[in-house]
């Protein structure tokens, strides 16, 4: 709500609602700053008695992030949220500081909240407490559980780990907070460990959609290359948390690969969760639906990932509000500025204004329909007497991108082929100057690492940053006799093509014989039909919008 109030501007109804919620939260806060209605009262367990599962510190972490959002977007607000959060944070420091309870929360989140609150208020005590929580993690302070202490990331110290493991949301939240801590304390060793973890997690434990987490039972990462499509958990909250981790690594290093993963995750996980109407959500994001889903009862609460189609609400409803806060704060991920100029990381129609360290004001207008089209046009709106640098991200998939510069008042148009990464152009820009990136966004086949057993021999279709999926409803529309994606193979000899905004591939039906035993001496595949059918694919984030169907992202190829 704090981010959305700032985004909309002048929404008095939302502002009044915000203040009413803050007042209600304040009324529940105890005089010493404690804030949680599940512990500490007659008939309840004592405070801090269930650090593994109680989520007391986790909830406070989200409260601190809300207070920071309010402080950044409405610094002069008198609603009292920041003061409320500070009272709670002071109590946490008293109870869990040096000489206090030497433990951590079973669900990381307070770490990032404390560092952000320290930045917003200048209170270094909060930073030191975040440091204590990060350094305690991995020392066995939490009870062991059936999935092991790795579930809580309490098996290995943060600075000693090589890859994210355990519960995927917890792991990413912890990593995000640890990056903030490393930056604030100039801890290069810790930052290097987190870079190593990010790199290995992306290389070995991340789905083509950017989703993370392949275990349903513990909502966790699997082993390296354990990425089954039909059992993908890929929790929406893990996608949001991954964006948080990657964003902080981007701020620390400026490397375009972090923004690449943010883009992939936003388009193919976060955007997939909500329905087009915004009234139902995916908690988990499978990459292969074997049975047509069942429409969720709008009056029933769904059990986490058990819903086969988007559901209006869940028993644990962390994902819908997490999607909402991400959408409300998306503008914060578009651009950054430093002493030399401005960097664009995500592409959307935008107006950007900032002031460089030397006082120069920079204003830009971004015009684009990306990723529907592959052109991003940046128009400079202010004059500069001295050169400054405009940097733009060229995604990893855009191997033949072009940079075009048009200087107003000059006939000269400069064009360069640019490689993936960050491309920069320095100039004493004048109002009316244009810098344009042109991307190749035609559909393409992507193959998996052969170590991913579950999708060996399959291909996926991508277009720009978007992953595409085959739905059974489109087989019927194309006149294919088979009505289940399980009976389809992709003709890899025919490249995907785009016609009138639709991505088309050629598929063939396969006709496996049903016998008494599904194994034998033959190593050949099931017979495949000789006639091909051109079938439309849908962007993965739009799947299941037209009703129940079978679906797969990775399609077996001939």
* DSSP letters spanning 466-485: EEEEEEHHHHHHTT-S--SG
Q: Are residues 279 and 344 both part of a single domain?
A: no
Task: Give the chain's domain count.
Answer: 4
- Whether residue 56 is contained in a domain is answered as yes
Is 324 part of any domain? no
- Are 146 and 282 found together in one domain? yes
Spatial contact of 141 and 154, defined as CB atoms under 8 Å apart: yes
CATH number reported for the structural domain that contains residue 245 in this entry: 1.50.10.20
Query: What's the pLDDT at 210?
Result: 98
Q: Is residue 268 part of a domain?
A: yes
CATH number of the domain enclosing 381? 2.60.40.1180
Does residue 313 sit within a domain? no
Is the domain of 528 the same as that of 414? no
Same domain? For 108 and 252 the reply is: no
Residues 490 and 458 in one domain: yes
Query: Quick check: is 176 in a domain?
Result: yes
Whether residue 276 is contained in a domain is answered as yes
**Structural domain boundaries, residue 29:** 1-135
Report the sign of the C-alpha dihedral through residues 395, 398, 400, 402, in that order. Answer: negative
pLDDT (0 to 100) of residue 522: 62
Asked whether residue 123 falls in the same domain as residue 216, the answer is no
User: Is residue 468 located within the same domain as residue 376?
Assistant: no
Nearest 5°: phi and psi at 9?
75, 120
CA neighbor of 234 nearest in space, from 263, 197, 196, 272 = 272
In a domain, 318, yes or no: no
Question: How many angstroms separate the Cα of 495 from the Cα of each of 100, 213, 443, 455, 503?
Answer: 63, 31, 8, 19, 11
The radius of gyration of the chain's CA atoms, rounded to the nearest angstrom, is 25
199 and 257 both lie in a single domain: yes
Does residue 82 sit in the same domain as residue 188? no
Nearest to 556 by CA among 464, 481, 467, 490: 490
| 351 bridge partner residues | 365
Q: Are 9 and 118 in a shared domain?
A: yes
1 with 75, same domain: the answer is yes
Question: Could you read off the pLDDT tens digit of each residue along the chain, which spans 558 residues?
Answer: 999 999 999 899 999 999 999 999 999 999 999 999 999 999 999 999 999 999 999 999 999 999 999 999 999 999 999 999 999 999 999 999 999 999 999 999 999 999 999 999 999 999 999 999 999 999 999 999 999 999 999 999 999 999 999 999 999 999 999 999 999 999 999 999 999 999 999 999 999 999 999 999 999 999 999 999 999 999 999 999 999 999 999 999 999 999 999 999 999 999 999 999 999 999 999 999 999 988 888 888 888 666 778 999 888 889 999 999 999 999 999 999 999 999 999 999 999 999 998 899 999 999 999 999 999 999 999 999 999 999 999 999 999 999 999 998 777 789 999 999 999 999 999 999 999 999 999 999 999 999 999 999 999 999 999 999 999 999 999 999 998 999 999 999 999 999 999 999 999 998 877 888 888 776 556 677 767 999 999 999 999 999 999 999 999 998
- Is the residue at 327 inside a domain? no
Which residue, 254, 276, 291, sits at the end of a domain?
Answer: 291
| Contacts (Cβ under 8 Å, ≥6 apart) of 304 | 283, 284, 314, 315, 316
* pLDDT value of residue 300: 85
Same domain, 143 and 266: yes
Query: Considering 413, 438, 463, which residue would you say is the last residue of a domain?
Result: 438
Give me the residue label for tokens 């595409």.
Answer: 468
Last residue of a domain, one of 404, 421, 438: 438
Comparing CA positions, the residue from 553, 551, 547, 554 lying closest to residue 309 is 547
């Amino acid at each position: 709500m704090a981010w959305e109030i700032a985004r909309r501007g002048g929404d008095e109804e939302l502002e009044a609602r915000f203040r009413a919620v803050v007042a209600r939260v304040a009324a529940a806060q105890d005089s010493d700053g404690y804030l949680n209605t599940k512990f500490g009262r007659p008939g309840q367990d004592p405070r801090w008695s269930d650090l593994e599962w109680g989520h007391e510190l986790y909830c406070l972490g989200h409260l601190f992030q809300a207070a920071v959002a309010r402080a950044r977007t409405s610094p002069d607000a008198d609603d009292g949220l920041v003061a409320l959060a500070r009272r709670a944070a002071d109590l946490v420091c008293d109870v869990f500081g040096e000489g206090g309870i030497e433990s951590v929360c079973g669900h990381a989140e307070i770490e990032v909240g404390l560092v952000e609150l320290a930045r917003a208020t200048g209170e270094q005590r909060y930073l030191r407490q975040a440091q204590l929580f990060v350094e305690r993690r991995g020392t066995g302070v939490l009870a062991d559980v059936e999935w092991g202490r790795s579930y809580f990331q309490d098996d290995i110290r943060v600075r000693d780990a090589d890859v994210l493991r355990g519960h995927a949301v917890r792991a990413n939240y912890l990593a995000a907070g640890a990056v903030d801590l490393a930056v604030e304390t100039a801890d290069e060793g810790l930052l290097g460990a987190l870079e190593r973890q990010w790199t290995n997690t992306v290389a070995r434990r991340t789905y083509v959609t950017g989703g993370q987490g392949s275990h349903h039972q513990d909502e966790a990462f699997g082993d390296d290359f354990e990425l089954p499509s039909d059992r993908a958990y890929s929790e929406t909250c893990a996608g949001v948390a991954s964006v948080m981790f990657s964003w902080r690594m981007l701020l620390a290093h400026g490397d375009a690969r972090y923004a690449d993963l943010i883009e992939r995750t936003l388009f193919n996980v976060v955007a997939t969760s909500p329905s087009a109407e915004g009234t139902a959500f995916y908690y988990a994001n499978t990459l292969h639906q074997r049975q047509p889903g069942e429409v969720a009862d709008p009056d029933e609460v769904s059990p986490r990932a058990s819903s086969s189609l988007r559901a209006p609400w869940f028993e644990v409803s962390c994902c819908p509000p997490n999607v909402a806060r991400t959408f409300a704060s998306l503008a914060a991920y578009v651009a950054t500025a430093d002493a030399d100029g401005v960097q664009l990381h995500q592409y959307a129609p935008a107006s950007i204004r900032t002031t460089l360290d030397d006082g120069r004001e920079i204003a830009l207008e971004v015009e684009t329909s990306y990723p529907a089209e592959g052109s991003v046009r940046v128009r400079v709106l202010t004059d500069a007497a001295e050169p400054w640098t405009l940097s733009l991200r060229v995604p990893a998939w855009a191997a033949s991108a072009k940079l075009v510069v048009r200087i107003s008042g000059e006939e000269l148009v400069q064009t360069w082929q640019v490689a993936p990464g960050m491309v920069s152009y320095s100039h004493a820009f004048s109002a009316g100057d244009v810098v344009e990136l042109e991307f190749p966004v035609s559909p393409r086949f992507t193959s998996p690492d052969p170590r991913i057993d579950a999708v060996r021999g399959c291909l996926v279709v991508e277009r720009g940053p978007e992953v595409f999926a085959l739905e059974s409803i489109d087989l019927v529309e194309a006149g294919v006799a088979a009505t289940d994606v399980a009976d389809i193979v992709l003709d890899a000899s025919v490249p995907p093509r785009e016609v009138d905004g639709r991505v088309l591939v050629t598929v063939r039906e396969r006709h496996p014989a049903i016998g008494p035993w599904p194994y034998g001496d033959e190593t050949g595949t099931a017979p495949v039909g000789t006639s091909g059918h051109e079938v439309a694919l849908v962007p993965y984030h739009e799947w299941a919008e037209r009703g129940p169907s079978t679906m797969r992202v990775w399609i077996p190829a001939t």
